Every structure is written in structure tokens, then in C-alpha cells.
Amino acid sequence: MRQFTAVVNPTAGGSTGAAALLAVARPLREAGAELETEYSRSLAHAQELARDAGRKGRVVLAVGGDGIAGGIGGALSGTGTVLGLVPAGRGNDFARALELPSDPARLAEVLLHNEPRAVDTIEVESAVHDRTVVLGSVYAGVDALANRHANQARLLRGAASYYAGGLRAVTTWRAARYRVTVDGREHRHTGYTVVAANSGYYGSGRLIAPDARVDDGLLEIVMISEAPRRLFFALMNDLKTGAHVDRPQVRILRGREITISADRDVPYGADGEVEAVLPVTVRVLPGALRVLC
């Protein structure tokens, strides 16, 4: 029987990660599994708790949103420790990409009985930010600005905070001139964003990269070009289904290592937590993390 250590973000999604864990804990314990709970004071503390549990051979449960999932997943990347997710945040995009059930009893079955799956992680390097490893995506442009606004929102939750943050970001955004180098080949791009995606989802369920796979050893690079604002909002609406990829303003590349720079200080983000400015280099780490899904 598996032994679990749950690392909880107590304020995930503006509510309590503890509530989400409680619903899963009962069927885990009823099945005879051992479960201990640790509450994190910060992302760095959560990573420390996860590494310590991994060294003891325990399965680590990341309880919270994409920030804590990416932070803990990144910390465990390459260690062989098995990770489980208990989604309890605003977006839960990596859990969505893994097709994890939302029903607590079904999720407990996955955590108890499914074999670990090897998935890719993303190494992120920047001159102005410490090296880090994340799970879902790195995005540079208006979406990073929108995510910053969403994180600062006090009255809105979930997708509503991302939508409001997006509106605020788009109204002040001017097209940036990017230089995107994919596996040594340079591409010029002028527009709203460049996204290097391991997971197909970001921004609370938006399907930014429909063909992205978490275990193919490749990143999908999605570039959205300059367009009138009214067209941009229509394109953003397409993100609900992934239909934006058929528009001429969207270009998609694939690669293992991507460097993104721009003609000004363009913000970038990673899994909703990392906040810095370009340039940044992103590379895939194939099969570096074992996840229950």
C-alpha cells in the first residue's frame, strides 16, 4: 500500500487546499493507505517538504493549483519520486492535461492503484531569474501580464480573474518584436505572445496548444501575431476549443530548446508563479517526472 505525504497550499484558489485534500483523504485511509499532511508557508517551503518526503520513499501529493503543482513537480523532476496531484486552485491546467477525475473517490482510485507515468518537464533559464523547472508552459507577452493581473485580483476567482486580467492587459499592450530560436533556427515574430507549451492548457482551461503532449519529448511553440484588438478578442474566444490554431495570425513550431528575446522588457511567466522579463531559454526534460494519472 502506498504511503503519501500531502503538501498543501492552504490558500489555493482563494479557499483552502485542506478542504480539497479532506475529500480525497477519507477514501485513501479507508483503503489502508498511510497519509501525512504538511502545510507549506511558501513555494520554496513546499519544495523542501516534497524533496524530504521523496527521500523517504513516499508518494508526494501536491495539493493546490498550477503554481504548487509546477513548483513541486519541478523540484521532484529527475529524482524518481512519484507525484500525485489533488487539484485545488484557480486553473488546475496540468491536472486537466493529465485527465485527472474531479470526483474525489475516483481521484483516490487513481492515486491508490494507477502506475506512475513518465512525463516531460520544462527547464527554464534566465539571466535575471534563477534556473527553475516547471510542468505546464512558459509564456512571454500579454498573457504573462494578464496572469500578473489575475494573481493580484482580490474579488474574482477562477476563470473570471483570468478574463478580467486579460482585458486589462490587452487594453495597454503594444506589439512586441520577438526573436525566437528553436533548436538553433531563428524566427522573427511581431505580436502578442510566444508560448512554449508542454501541456495543452493554460490560463484556466484555455486550450493554447491542442497538439501538445506531456510525454513526447517536444514543446509546442505557439506564436500569436499582431492583430486588431477586436480580432484578438475573437481569437481569445477560440482558445476555449483550440480553434485559434486555424487562424492566419497563429503560427506553431515544435522543438526541444527555445530561446525567446524581444525588443523591450517583455514579461514572461511559467505555471502561474515565475515572473520575470525576457530573454529566457526553455528546454524540455523528457520523461523526467513520474506522475500518477
Residue 7 near residue 49 (C-beta atoms within 8 A): yes
- Pair (63, 84) in one structural domain: yes
- Count of structural domains within the chain: 2
- Pair (73, 179) in one structural domain: no
Q: At what angle do helices 142-152 and 158-172 cross, to 10 degrees?
A: 130
Q: Does 14 score more than 60 pLDDT?
A: no
CA atoms within 13 A on the CB side of 216: 12
Q: Does 276 score more than 60 pLDDT?
A: yes
Task: Give the whole-angstrom CA distance, residue 126 versus residue 118.
Answer: 26
- Pair (154, 96) in one structural domain: no
Three-state SS at 154: coil
**CA distances (Å), 249 to each of 15, 29, 193, 220, 236, in order?**
38, 51, 11, 16, 12
- Pair (129, 248) in one structural domain: yes
- Pair (255, 127) in one structural domain: yes
Three-state SS at 231: helix
Digit-coded pLDDT (tens) for 174-230 = 899 999 999 999 999 999 999 999 999 998 899 999 999 999 999 999 999 998 878
Residue 2, C-alpha cell as written in the block: 502506498
Residue 270 near residue 70 (C-beta atoms within 8 A): yes
Cis peptide bond upstream of 104, omega within 30: no
190 strand-pairing partners: 177
Domain with 216, as residue range(s), is 123-292
At which residue does the C-alpha cell 531569474 appear? 129
Q: Per-residue confidence at 9, pLDDT binned at 50, 70, 90?
A: confident
- Pair (103, 127) in one structural domain: no
- Pair (200, 80) in one structural domain: no
- Pair (77, 214) in one structural domain: no
Residue 84 near residue 292 (C-beta atoms within 8 A): yes
Digit-coded pLDDT (tens) for 150-172 = 666 555 555 565 666 667 777 78
Choose the final residue of a domain: 91, 114, 137: 114
Task: Give the whole-angstrom CA distance, residue 138 versus residue 202.
Answer: 10
Three-state SS at 27: helix
- Pair (144, 255) in one structural domain: yes
- Pair (165, 46) in one structural domain: no
129 residue type, one letter: H
- Pair (55, 181) in one structural domain: no
Digit-coded pLDDT (tens) for 251-268 = 999 999 999 999 999 999
Q: Shortest CA distance to 265 belongs to which of 132, 123, 140?
A: 140
Q: Does 232 score more than 90 pLDDT?
A: no
- Pair (67, 44) in one structural domain: yes
How confident is the model over 76-94, as a mean pLDDT? 94
CATH number for 282: 2.60.200.40
Residue 155 DSSP symbol: S
How confident is the model over 27-45, as a mean pLDDT? 95
How confident is the model over 262-285, as a mean pLDDT? 91
Q: pTM to 2 decimals?
A: 0.91
